[in-house]
Structure 1
């Protein structure tokens, strides 16, 4: 079974989140919204943070110095089309609103209270919902996507804690 690793970032600025609207993808033939990010390159497999910064710069023009409080908050696991997908999800704050146009899709600053109205994947929808309710909790959450049927999708969350070994 193949494993695909991805890095995604959600950048906040004064109550709004930078979101990307894509008209379609290789997999979906309809418009949808997501964060900033993509697949990790082979040399980035042990560096999802650097992969995320690369994707951010490529898709928005924001440099590492333009972002503060950049933290890994989620690692999502799901099985999709015969492969295991592992997605590292970061959250940070931008120092300004200025981005460059992207070849990947259209960028928009969306107020936090309007995020639930966007057509996102179920995994992204549930992750953003969880973050907005639990962003004060320090640590990294691991989530496993559980899909029995479309309306019943959910993510089982667990905080990664220090291992007590021998």
Structure 2
């Protein structure tokens, strides 16, 4: 999936949905949806397409648009991957969407909205690190914190090397150690 959170001034554009194919209750989220067949290697293109379809904003109406999060989740045996982009709009005039109702929500109220665990954690992380340039990978872990909230683990995405350096000693760990 590709999701975008667009801001203008001190407000963020949020979509209120009455339900989905997975949930039969009202919840809030960003602008976005599933990647189409030709977009699997270009999630940013999918995000721009979803923005245009759901808000009427064109690519030139969005500035500083960049990938900030990759969210991973296992649900019903499927691995779900969501690319989350943030950007700023040059104006506030959206068109109504068939996907849900659009509202400009003050940034200090965004975390009060009923949204999924991963989306709420992503928005919280983003608001705590507004100027960060990093891409973060997040996923929900089993278990909860002291408040009973499921834990989301964040890791900063970093450049990697394709091959181990010469002289690298690989320590063999039985697969069963990872399968507990």
Q: Does 1:14 align with 2:9?
A: yes
Gaps of 5+ in 1: 1-5
**1:40 and 1:24 mapped to 2: Cα distance?**
20
Q: Deviations over 1:45-104 (max 9, x none)?
A: 000000000000000000000000001000000101221000000000000000000000
CA distance in 2, matches of 1:146, 1:13: 33
The aligned residue for residue 101 of structure 2 is 106
Provide the aligned length of Structure 1 versus Structure 2.
161
SS of 1:129 mapped into structure 2: helix
Task: Give, in whole Å, the separation in 2 of the partners of 1:28 and 1:65.
Answer: 34
- Give the alignment's Cα RMSD to 1 decimal: 1.3
The equivalent of 2:156 in structure 1 is: 159
How many angstroms does 1:135 deviate by?
2.2
In structure 1, the partner of 2:63 is 68
Report the Cα distance in structure 1 between the residues aligned to 2:99 and 2:140, rounded to whole angstroms: 25
Which has the larger share of strand? 1
- Residues of 2 paired with 1:115 and 1:152: CA distance? 18
Of 126, 136, 139, the residue aligned with 1:144 is 139
Q: TM-score, normalized by length of structure 2?
A: 0.86
Aligned partner of 2:173 in structure 1 is none
* Structure-1-length-normalised TM-score: 0.93
Determine helix, strand or coil for the equivalent of 2:21: coil
Dislocated runs of 4+, deviation >3 Å = none
Unaligned runs of 5+ in 2: 164-180
